[in-house]
Chain A
Amino acid sequence: MEPHIQVRNLSVWYEGGHLALREVTLDIPRRQITVIIGPSGCGKTTLLKSLNRFLELSDGTRLSGQVLIDGEDIYAPGVDVTEIRKKVGLLAQRPFPLPMSIYENVAYGLRIHRLKKGRELERAVRHYLEVAGLWEEVKDRLHQPASRLSIGQQQRLCLARGLAVEPEILLGDEVTSALDPISAQHIEKRLLELKQDYTIVLVTHILRQAKRLADYVVFMYMGEVIEAGPAAEVFVNPRQERTRAYLEGQF
């Protein structure tokens, strides 16, 4: 099967010329969970943020190479960045609900992309809250401020909100690191369900979480991809010495 995302010779420089990614080439499989691991500062988050063109939000970032999604370069001139971000959803490290009600948080994306309205909108909001596993907890207070939810609930709301714009790819940047263990488990469970329909790319520094979730693993070190492959191979029998050292906890 053709990979969903193809990264080709991608290099990224931050302001001041610091090289964050060096000639990264990588294939990310469709409808699987790909987990990017590596010590802090190795470029995991930079790689993730290159996939929804979030790098350009910081001043002075430069980039060369290509990121192809379904074979199309998302950095090609004339590409509509809002279309890319609609297709590639992002779940952030810390949940940030929009300053509106629970209902409106999910409806927001549907409204700006004019996907649904009226009764259909209501049904869609309910559907995505159900998928994120939040519906039962909020169905009686849909019109209350989202900021009143617990942080674990907020993260699931952010998941529902992200799914509502009908993405194909879901990026996650250490999505459980701000959460308590129970909420973290909730989110992990959702992600495992969602991989049937979505290509999921996660960054984590928790090795055990990577082992629980990953179908495909990418190990990065100092801005380079050292090794990438099916989880069963990389975790059990890494080909590279540095991967083995990292997995054994030597970093």
Chain B
Amino acid sequence: MSILGTRVLRTEDPKFLTTGGVYTEDVVDDRLDGAYHVFFVRSPIAHARITSIDVSPALAAPGVVAAFTGADLADLPVIPPSAAGLMNVEMTQRLLAIDKVRFVGEPVAVVVTELPYQGEDALELVEVDYDPLPAVLGFEPTDSSLLFEAAGTNVAGHWGEASSLKPELFDDCEVVVTHTIINQRVAPAPMESRAAAAVWGDDGRLTAWVPNQGAQGTRDSLVTLLGLEAGQVRVITPDVGGAFGAKFGADPEHAVVAWVSRQLGRPARWTETRFENLVAMTHGRAQQHTITIGGSRDGNVAAYRLEIVQDAGAYPKIGAILPFLTILMTTGPYDIPNAESIATVVVTNTTPIGAYRGAGRPEATAALERAMDLFATEIGVDPADVRRKNLLPPFTEPHRTAFGALYDSGDYVAALDKALAAAGYADLRKEQAERRASGDVRQLGIGVASYVEITGMGDGEESPPEENATVEVHPDGTATILTGTSPHGQGHATAWAMLASEELGIPVEKITLQWGDTDLIPVGGGTGGSRSLQHGGAAVQQASKELIEMARLRAAAQLEANAADLVFDKSRSAFAVAGDPEASVPLTQLAENERLLIRTVFTAPGATFPFGTHVAVVEVDTETGKPTLTRVITVDDAGIVLNPLLAEGQRHGGIAQGAAQAFLEEVVYDADGNPLTASFADYPFLSATEVPSFELADMATPTTYNPLGAKGIGEAGTIGATPAVQNAIIDAVSHLGVRHIDMPASSRRVWQAIQQAATARPGSEH
């Protein structure tokens, strides 16, 4: 029986459950003996000129061995904005701020100490004089206060031009609804914050331990940030305590730690506090959407427009690129004849925006699914019916959208109907009607969100996605896999071993996975964008199959048989001559004289497009506004599932993060750009009491883009659940006249929306 598709328990678990993972802070290594500790002095002001920095008082403090400012690093390369050619080239960043600070938390200096505690005290002694400037915040910043004077504007760039929008887009529509909504800024907040350890060898090479999502990308970032030659950096990836998109590449702090180590000729380490993490690790989302949707009174959507403003934070990083993905997925799973989408990227005096689970696609789905509900409410048709009416019909040949996305396969109506059936949708609507009729204080809300997303993107269709794998069988009956992916909770050690085991006949527990050391595995795409199984897993399977064919030739020589007459007996992990099982040779023996090892590269024809429907059920207390999430039912079709246990885990985690954005989490600044959510006491990180257990329904439409038939599953949750939960909360109070509540749809916001709707209602006594 095949091991593929079964619920194999994780081989990596016993360590995590007993001695715990070895995260960057836990790494014990001879090369790091005597390491100095690096502490960052961070700006307490959102926008200011630095008039002077005096590190000398800190230098006099116990244990302080050095302190550096931006001036000391001035000869290092400036960091250009992302999306070269589209964003304003003047919006550059330095590893440590020089002249100006642009967000609270921006590093301006470092203090280096012998012992970790000494730095915490010495940080306070660095004297930085700031000349405050007006903070630039929000989605429509004026140019009265410029983050980058040389740029002459706070608009970083555009994706598409306003002049391209067609004034006549909605001319033929019977009904047009428009609304401006906010997809708020949230914190990725992995449980393990950022860290680094660095040491330089006598050969002038840097070895850096960094929690990351792809050691090769982190290595390349460090080479660029430090102005080094390729080959001068080795990155080693310890266990990583969650990432969610925010640990791609390297941040300025990682480069500074490496620079300090070189400057002082000693290893150096850094672990950030949660406060630092919440103000200086990239945030996610932060888009404003003006959605306009139009169609017929019977529910056919004829036109849709999405105008995006992306708050990129203080520096245009990955945040500047997110609108590209949002625009690509503008029409999602629907057949909308006329649609258009553009984006403006602005800079503000806030933490830079980066990728966060879904990265641009949840934003597209949130906008579209809110638009669908606004339209449905306006015409008085059930929102599920409006969706069914407009979803693309099932297709097995790739479908090209007006925005250039090439959907590989899909059956969106089936996913919708399956989710509705699993939820008991008709009964829920009946119960809702009863509660409305009786004026129940606790009103029921039902939210539906259909989605299609893009996973496993390459660098465009000219550069198709690929990943490499190396598989080796050892004489002792064990096997080793090297992968270019970078697990940090996804369970690749188990999943990749399943794929190899299936081909090699070697038990999963005898197969070891290695990743994340760039000297061992120089090439790799890492883990993100829900790419790992469909590329990295496919590469492991391909390598294992190729290894068997290579071994077949060796076996043929050894058995003096025709290779074509050999059968591979997985139960013995051995080749045997057909019809003569006694004449056999195991893989272990074939590995004795010459290494039985193969490296291969799997190339996919393109990205895949998983899809599904989420249904959320909430109860809203109409007196307090408090929403309680009671059920989440999802259909997430990511093609063929390798290990349901792992796939379900990915779905659960994403659903929770999606729900958290819908009604709890938000990074908040005051009018001066001071962060108000810079600790876990203030940032409303989702806890176990705020979500129910989730109800998952299965559906698997294969893709032909890889032999596994697999699409990505890592981000389905945040894409589907966020609008489903938001829609449910609004649905619970829509009969009171509420049409929209921005996320997070918290008790306060729900209560306010109910009050405002009551005031606005004709004949209201208010």
Instruction: Decide if A and B are genuine partners.
Output: no
Binding site for B on A (CB under 8 A): none
Binding site for A on B (CB under 8 A): none
